[in-house]
Amino acid sequence: MDRMLYVAMSGAKETLVAQANTTNNLANAGTSGFLADLNQFRSMPVFGGVHPTRVYAMGERPGTSFDQGSVQYTGRDLDIAIEGGGWMAVQARDGSEAYTRRGDLRVDENGLLVNGNGLPVMGNGGPIAIPPFEKIDIGADGSVSIRPLGATAEQLALVDRIKLVAPQYDQMTKGEDGLMRLKEGANTDADPEQRLVSGALESSNVNVVDEMVKMIELSRRFELQVKMMKHAQENANASASLVRPM
């Protein structure tokens, strides 16, 4: 009886984990450059001091969907979309270098070029600092140029170049902060072949309809597992009543 209860209990618990993953994907359906997390279930034997006679369900995130979202033109000077499978380097909260496709950029109060998450965009020598300007342009190669205050339209100054990289997908992993990093923890070199589309943003690659259907399926699966736990309890009570002395 305990086998039935244990399998149902672990299945219900891992279903809630999968539901949280699906909810996170739906919550970021409107986030520029967001990559959906995948989820799968598998059975795992329970190893201990004796032969593994119990099995529990385990939900896990085997990886990330690298499908590219659609490019939507905004006309905004600081919006960029990355062509192909490249990435833009940013400085994560912990100070490490990480990679993202989110391109809704802005200049913050400290003069740093940051993306929509407020993370500094990396250039040739670190975070890109923007001097006071009247106009800013980002070229297809990632070069950041400005027209300084009081300068004429022809007086453009090259500030830096956004670090664009293109590591292999199987070398990358997604962290809890939603940023991509190399699995071995190292940084990768800039790839001069990568190109940007200015005045455009890449949408999230989340398929809202699929995620909604998945959420309904997980909800029904959780209800079924709870019913199985109740049946296990009823069977245990019935068995106990049969051997109870009169």
Contact assessment for residue 64 and residue 40, using Cβ atoms and an 8 Å cutoff: no
* Cβ contacts of 101 within 8 Å, gap of 6 or more: 33, 35, 68, 81, 82, 87, 88, 202
The average confidence (pLDDT) of the chain is 88
Between the alpha carbon of residue 228 and those of residues 12, 77, 84, 192, 237, the distances in Å are 10, 57, 48, 57, 14
Least confident range from 2-6, 39-43, 105-109, 182-186: namely 2-6
Residue 246: pLDDT band with limits 50, 70, 90 = low
pTM of the model: 0.82
pLDDT number for residue 223: 92
| Residue % of the chain over a pLDDT of 90 | 59
pLDDT number for residue 2: 64
Tell me the pLDDT tens digit for each residue of 149-158.
877 777 889 9
166 has a pLDDT exceeding 70: yes
pLDDT number for residue 184: 83
- Strand partners for 136: 146
Enumerate the domain spans of the chain.
2-65+206-243, 71-202
225 has a pLDDT exceeding 90: no
Least confident range from 99-108, 120-129, 210-219, 224-233: namely 224-233
Contact assessment for residue 73 and residue 32, using Cβ atoms and an 8 Å cutoff: no
Q: Higher model confidence: residue 34 or residue 240?
A: 34
| Residue % of the chain over a pLDDT of 70 | 98
1 has a pLDDT exceeding 70: no
Tell me the pLDDT tens digit for each residue of 168-218.
998 999 988 889 999 888 899 999 999 999 999 999 999 999 999 999 999
pLDDT number for residue 209: 95
182-207 as b/e: b if 16+ CB within 10 A = beeeebbebeeebebbbebbbbbbbe
- Strand partners for 80: 198
Tell me the pLDDT tens digit for each residue of 54-104.
777 777 777 899 999 999 999 998 999 999 889 999 999 999 999 999 999
